[in-house]
Amino acid sequence: MATITAAMVKDLREKTGVGMMDCKQALNENNGDMEAAVDWLRKKGLSKAAKKAGRVAAEGLIAAVVSGTKGVVVEVNSETDFVARNEQFQGLVKMIGQVAIKAGDDVETIKAAKVGDITVERAIQDAIATIGENMTLRRAASLSVNDGVIASYVHNAVIDGLGKMGVIVALESTGSKDELAALGRQIAMHVAASNPQALDAASLDPEVVRREKDVMADKYRQQGKPDAMIEKIVESGLKTYYKEVTLLEQAFIHDNAKSVGQAVKDAEGKVGAPIKLAGFVRYALGEGIEKQESDFAAEVAAAAGQG
């Protein structure tokens, strides 16, 4: 039997908004498995958590760079937000983004690419030595189109193209590139605000869909509903779920009377040709990285020999 700590209960409570005692019971029932505990609470109707809530912890910057019909986002982490405001660090991240446009989105390939006489990896090591804080190129992703535009949006920008969140969107069309770019920026802003999990239902991870169906079915089964009714309810529930988590079906933040897919279709008149929303990438700084929390007062007391 797993030991259930106060920190685990606190983490589950922050993810679900459910009371401490229910969170403790959920963890006990599921041998300390956090995700199973979230599902257990949802099946009991106690939690409205729709998906995993990753704790954003790492510091640093996201770069979003577009060149012609290609765009890239990269995440470079630092230990503190103070370093993210350092001009040398900002220059480093911007340079890495520019390299990634040509080198592609494989992290090791980017690190091995040359900038002048040195590699990107050496440039990162030099910055670590100069600034005195650990840094790492964590990840990169790219999009490209044969004919169309790559649009970008950076949220909480510290300088042009660098911030705490970066989004790129790919639109394929033979129509007006200016009109496409305007639409693409609107969609990129939507992606930043709405955080879709996938482009459409077919693009969702089948395991995520299976898990959602299982949670819904178990919840209604516990309410005593017959299997034939449950199947219909789950099917209806999935349609609602897709509207919440897939980009093309989400309500467009710039006009919530229509979906993003409808907004793209409606824009074809202005653009003068069919438009295909081909893909998107959204990077939020530090998502999925756990950060160890510390009690500063306790640390000071310990250092002074009082704790």
Per-residue model confidence as pLDDT tens digits over 231-277: 788 888 888 889 999 999 999 999 999 999 999 999 999 999 999 99
pLDDT of residue 40: 85
Compute the distance between CA of residue 14 and CA of residue 18 in angstroms, rounded to an integer.
8
Q: Which residues contact 207 (CB under 8 A, 6 or more apart)?
A: none
Q: Are residues 174 and 274 in the same domain?
A: yes
pLDDT of residue 41: 80
**Residue 45 within any structural domain of the chain:** yes
Eight-class DSSP state of 230: H
Q: Are residues 84 and 3 in the same domain?
A: no
**Residue 143 within any structural domain of the chain:** yes
The total of structural domains in the chain comes to 2
pLDDT of residue 232: 83
CATH of residue 48's domain is 1.10.8.10
Q: Which residues contact 199 (CB under 8 A, 6 or more apart)?
A: 246, 247, 248, 277, 279, 280
Compute the distance between CA of residue 269 and CA of residue 79 in angstroms, rounded to an integer.
48
**Residue 226 within any structural domain of the chain:** no
Residue 299, judged by CB atoms within 10 A of its CB (0-12, 13-18, 19+), counts as exposed
pLDDT of residue 92: 96
Roughly how many angstroms between the first and final C-alpha of the chain, as a whole number?
A: 31
Q: Are residues 42 and 5 in the same domain?
A: yes
What pTM was estimated for this model as a whole?
0.74
pLDDT of residue 12: 82
Q: Which H/E stretch holds residue 251?
A: strand 251-252
Containing structural domain, residue 48? 1-52
CATH of residue 93's domain is 3.30.479.20
For the chain, residues with pLDDT lower than 50 are 48-57, 294, 296, 299, 303, 306-307
Report the relative pairing of strands 118-119 and 255-259 from DSSP bridges: unpaired
Q: Are residues 113 and 16 in the same domain?
A: no
Q: Are residues 31 and 142 in the same domain?
A: no
